[in-house]
Chains A and B, each alone.
Chain A
Amino acid sequence: MYLKELTELDGVSGNEQQVREFISDKIKDKVDELKVDVLGNLIAYRKGTKGGRKIVLAAHMDEVGFMVTNIEDDGTLAFAPVGGVETQVMVGKIVRINGQTLGAIGYKAIHIQDKEQILKPLSIDQLRVYIGAKSKEEAARQVKIGDYVAFTTTFDQENNRLTGKAFDDRAGCSVLMDIIDKIDRYEDDVYFAFLVQEEVGLRGSAVVVEQIHPDIAIVIEGTTAGDDPELPEYQWATHLGDGPAITFMHRGYVVNKRVYESIIEVAEKYSIAHQAKRRTAGGTDAARFARTGAGTAAAVVSVPSRYIHSPVSMIDLNDYNNTVLLLQKILEQGEAFAR
């Protein structure tokens, strides 16, 4: 498992190089081919023993974060979200700009807000990043407009739970790396695609189908949970500890029935805990694979994750391990899978 290293790297959409370099370095000697495409996707290939079909396993390297959009006269930085980040999770956090400069996102003290301000959610134009600079000139010596901004949360593991930033989708990246570490060759050719720019509109995945022409693509995600005391149980998307979540439909795509059912068959055959993802909000690269080129039979398997798109999310270790196991068993089925 590579989650500590992976989640402590900064890789906001469009700025994935730290993550790409880390993964590339770890897997380069374990695969038959490795390349970086025009958009920055890292694609690894392991030849099958029969080589009749091509299966893509995909995870995205990028995370949500921010971009510096202006340097103000007082030396603070205006910023805009890259991907979906709610304003409420931004305040009171330390962020890292351009992989090095630290800054704080604060807000004026409760003592000097009027009653209306206290009760009103903040909009991003009320927030700035403070880097300790007192003028535009001083700030401009360290940062520039267009610099990427990431949260700085460190990884932790305790009580069978893992906490940190960017489990969406470093969890998927780590699952793929764990599968690569198992040196098995399978009947099918397997492509491991580490994608860029998922959080800004499923962009990296758009150029993958044309490079591979896969028969099947399975996207591995860190997905929403919502299993907390503020949501009634019927609104939960997934529940931590109940196993990998298998998606039947999400925004813009009804999952290929043959692949979806085959995944469940494998899970049941090997008694691997699994659950349906019970909400259809949010999309994944599976939608892009399905509608690109001549189309691909695509599916989604996810590690349930609480508090995603915030500075600190949480997954269950058993769910993670069962996701690795399920995908490994899927590959072991060889040509029998999704026939």
Chain B
Amino acid sequence: MNESAITVENLVKKFEDVTALDGISLQVEKGELFGLLGPNGAGKTTTINILCGLTKPTSGAAKVGGYDVQKETAKIKELIGVCPQETAIYPYLTGAENVELFGNLHAMDKDTLKTRRAMLLEKMGLTGDAKRRAEKYSGGMKRRLSLILALIHDPQIAFLDEPTVAMDPQSRHAVWDFIKELKKEDKTIILTTHYMEEAEELCDRVGIIDHGKLIALGTPQELISKNKVKNLEEVFIALTGRKIREEV
């Protein structure tokens, strides 16, 4: 647990006159489940995009699996699996065909692909719907399928960008169980969410981002006891004076 899977040093990202990330530094250990928390627009997805090599940082440095995100993106991409915030699936393919397509794009051999596809569909509760076209899926089912696509090739480091957004409690718990199993397999997982209870349930450590700055870093218990509150939601209120999500 003392080997760093991800190192971020003073990362800054500016989009014209908007500063999305303002000097973030953190480390994620190998096999750790790290949560990036924050309200919408805090900079969570920008951080993930930089770590995946999709966006270049304005300044600062970051390493994933020991490789520099600006110079060695090709090597990083061999290690990671990304579940983007948007549901990236092909609606005209069935669930099973979507998984098969991504497995083939990862050049997986036929037998491994078949085994992993069956296993992941089963774990995500999609086996019964695997032969239906994805366009007929509910929002939660699409998100679960998207998660399978990100993990079909068994990556060492998984970036899950709000994987449970718009899911019903049942689907959310299925995903939580799945993420816990991934952790048992010693995968490094970076999870972004604005559900504080999700972070509290799953994460070894969390980093709270607000307006592009890392305002807190530690285990959920550390943060709760340090701020003398009952849960992470209250930690955020104590730090910013705002709720992370406005009540609908």
* A and B from one complex: no
Which residues in B have some Cβ–Cβ distance to A below 8 Å?
A: none
Which residues in A have some Cβ–Cβ distance to B below 8 Å?
A: none
